[in-house]
A and B are shown apart, each in its own frame.
Chain A
Amino acid sequence: MSENNTLLRVEDLRLYFRTRQGTVQAVDGVDLELKENEAMVILGESGCGKTSLSRAILRLLPNNVETYSGKIFLEGLDTMELNDERFRRQIRWFKMSMVPQAAMNALNPVIKVGEQVAEPLLVHKKAEKQEALEQAAWMFEQVGVPTDFLNRYAFELSGGMRQRVALAMALITLPALVFLDEPTSALDVLTQANIFNVLKDIKKELAVGFILITHDIATSSELADTVAVMYAGEIVEVSDARHFFTEPLHPYSRLLMASVPRLKVDQEPTFITGQPPSLINPPSGCRFAPRCPSVFQKCSEHPPTFQVDGRKVRCWLHA
Chain B
Amino acid sequence: MSSVMSERPQDAPQDIPQSMTTPTTGKEPGQRPELLEVQDLHVWFELKRFGFLHAGYVQAVDGVNFTLREQGAIGIVGESGCGKTTLMKTILGINRPIKGKIIFEGEDLGGLTSRDLQSYRGKVGYVQQDPYGALPPFMTVENILAEPMIIAGITDPQEHEQRIRDVLTEVKMTPVENFLTKFPHMLSGGQQQRIVIARAMILNPRLIVADEPVSMLDASVRVEILRLLERLQETHDLAVIYITHDLSTVRYFSDHIFVMYAGKLVERAEVNSLLRNPLHPYTQALLEATPDPDYKNALTHKELPPGEPPSLVNPPSACRFHPRCPYKIEGLCEVQLPPDFEPEPNHFAACWLYR
Residue ranges of A at the interface with B (Cβ–Cβ < 8 Å)? 39, 45-46, 158-161, 188-194, 196-197, 200, 215-225, 241-242, 244-246, 255-257, 259-265, 268-273, 275
In the complex, chain B residues 291-309 whose Cβ is within 8 Å of any chain A Cβ: 291-295, 297-298, 301-302, 304-305, 308-309
Distance in Å: Cβ of B317 to nearest Cβ of chain A? 21
Q: Which of B222, B302, B308 contacts A193 (CB 8 A)?
A: B302
Q: How large is the interface on B (under 10, 10 to 19, 20 to 34, 35 or more residues)?
A: 35 or more
- Complex CA gap A158/B222 in Å reads 28
Whether A241 lies near B298 (C-beta < 8 A) is yes
The answer to whether A217 and B293 have CB atoms under 8 Å apart is yes
How many whole Å from A212's CB to the nearest CB in chain B?
11
The reply on B290 being an interface residue by CB < 8 A is yes
Chain B residues with CB under 8 Å of A259's CB are: 219-220, 222-223
Q: Return chain A residues, CB-CB under 8 Å to B245.
A: 188-189
Q: Tell me if A271 and B222 are in contact (CB < 8 A).
A: yes
Q: CB within 8 Å of A: which residues of B? A: 79-80, 188-190, 218-224, 227, 245-249, 251-252, 275, 285-295, 297-298, 301-302, 304-305, 308-309
Which residues from B are CB-within-8-Å of A255?
220
CB-CB under 8 A from A221, the residues of chain B are 291-295, 297-298
Known: A215-B218, A217-B293, A275-B188. A223 touches B304 (CB 8 A): no
Q: Given A215-B219, A245-B293: A46 and B301 within 8 A (CB)?
A: no
Known contacts A188-B245, A189-B247, A261-B223; is A269 also within 8 Å of B79 by CB? no
CB distance from A237 to the nearest CB of B (A): 14
- Across the interface, do A222 and B297 meet the contact criterion of CB distance under 8 Å? yes
Establish whether residues B291 and A269, one from each chain, have CB atoms under 8 Å apart when the complex forms.
Answer: no
- If A259-B223, A269-B252 touch, whether A190 touches B298 (CB-CB below 8 Å) is no
In the docked arrangement, what's the CA distance between A225 and B297, Å?
11
**Complex contact B79–A272 (CB within 8 A):** no
Supply 10 further A-B pairs (C-beta < 8 A) apart from A160-B308, A263-B248.
A159-B80, A188-B79, A193-B291, A197-B304, A200-B298, A221-B292, A222-B291, A259-B219, A259-B222, A275-B188
A48 to B113, CA, bound (A): 50
Closest 9 CB pairs of A and B: A193-B289, A188-B79, A271-B224, A272-B220, A271-B223, A241-B295, A261-B248, A45-B218, A263-B248
- In the bound complex, how far is the Cα of B294 from the Cα of A245, in angstroms? 6
- When the two chains form their complex, are residues A224 and B247 in contact, meaning their CB atoms are under 8 A apart? no
A-B contacts, 26 of them at CB < 8 A, read A45-B218, A46-B189, A158-B308, A160-B308, A161-B308, A188-B79, A188-B80, A189-B79, A189-B246, A191-B79, A194-B304, A197-B302, A200-B298, A215-B218, A216-B219, A222-B291, A222-B298, A224-B295, A245-B295, A257-B293, A259-B222, A259-B223, A260-B293, A263-B287, A269-B252, A271-B227
Q: Which residue of B lies closest to A241 (CB)?
A: B295
* Shortest distance between the CB of A59 and any CB in chain B (Å): 28
A190 touches B252 (CB 8 A): no
From B306, which residue of chain A is reached at the shortest CB distance? A194
Question: Is there an interface contact between A189 and B289, defined as CB atoms closer than 8 Å?
Answer: yes
Most buried by A among B227, B289, B305: B289
A263 & B295 in contact (Cβ 8 Å cutoff) = no
Q: Contact: B223 with A269, CB < 8 Å?
A: yes
A196–B298 CA distance with the chains assembled, in angstroms: 9
Complex Cα gap A256–B224 (Å): 13
For B189, give the chain A residue with the smallest CB separation. Answer: A46
Across-interface contacts of B224 in A (CB, < 8 A): 271, 273
A190 in contact with B79 (CB, 8 Å): yes
Q: Looking across the interface, which residue of chain B has its beta carbon closest to that of A227?
A: B295
- Least Cβ–Cβ distance between A261 and chain B, in angstroms: 4
Q: In the complex, are the beta carbons of A218 and B292 less than 8 A apart?
A: yes
B220 near A189 with CB under 8 A, answer no
The answer to whether A45 and B219 touch (CB under 8 A), given A190-B285, A218-B292, A222-B291, is yes
Across-interface contacts of B288 in A (CB, < 8 A) = 193
Question: Inside 8 A of A257's CB, which chain B residues have their CB?
Answer: 293
Alpha-carbon distance A260/B293, docked complex (angstroms): 8
Docked complex Cα distance between A275 and B220 (Å): 9
